[in-house]
Amino acid sequence: MIPINDALVLSAILFVIGAFGVFLRRNVITVFMCVELMLNAVNLSFVAFSRSLGTLDGQILVFFVMTVAAAEAAVGLAIIMALQRHKETLDVDSFNLMKW
């Protein structure tokens, strides 16, 4: 059996990669994928805890997160399509109209 620490370290690495991706990448789709990566990192730690504690709570929560992620993907991709058609670019920094 894989020790829980290994799974948590992997989860943390994936989460940090995702976070850095969100902050550093400029392409909206990449940013979006990184957000998904962060969500799945969290899923991994949920499942690991669920297995090590022998309860089902974590797995149930994972289903919730996956449902939300699916919905978010649908809405998010639709928004990205609209942005692309409007601005003809996918650079995150060009979408800055909502400011002071």
Chain residues that interact with other proteins, rule: CB under 8 A? 19, 22-23, 31, 92-93, 95-100
DSSP string computed for 56-78: SHHHHHHHHHHHHHHHHHHHHHH
- Minimum gap (Å) between residue 56 Cβ and other proteins: 26
Looking at the Cβ atoms of 1 and 98, the one nearer to other proteins is 98
- Minimum gap (Å) between residue 54 Cβ and other proteins: 26
Looking at the Cβ atoms of 61 and 92, the one nearer to other proteins is 92
Return the bridge partners of 27, or none.
Answer: 91
Phi, psi of 27 (to 5 degrees): -70, 130
Task: Report the length, in residues, of the chain.
Answer: 100
Q: Where are the alpha helices (DSSP H) in the chain?
A: 4-24, 28-53, 57-87
- Minimum gap (Å) between residue 9 Cβ and other proteins: 18
Looking at the Cβ atoms of 59 and 69, the one nearer to other proteins is 69
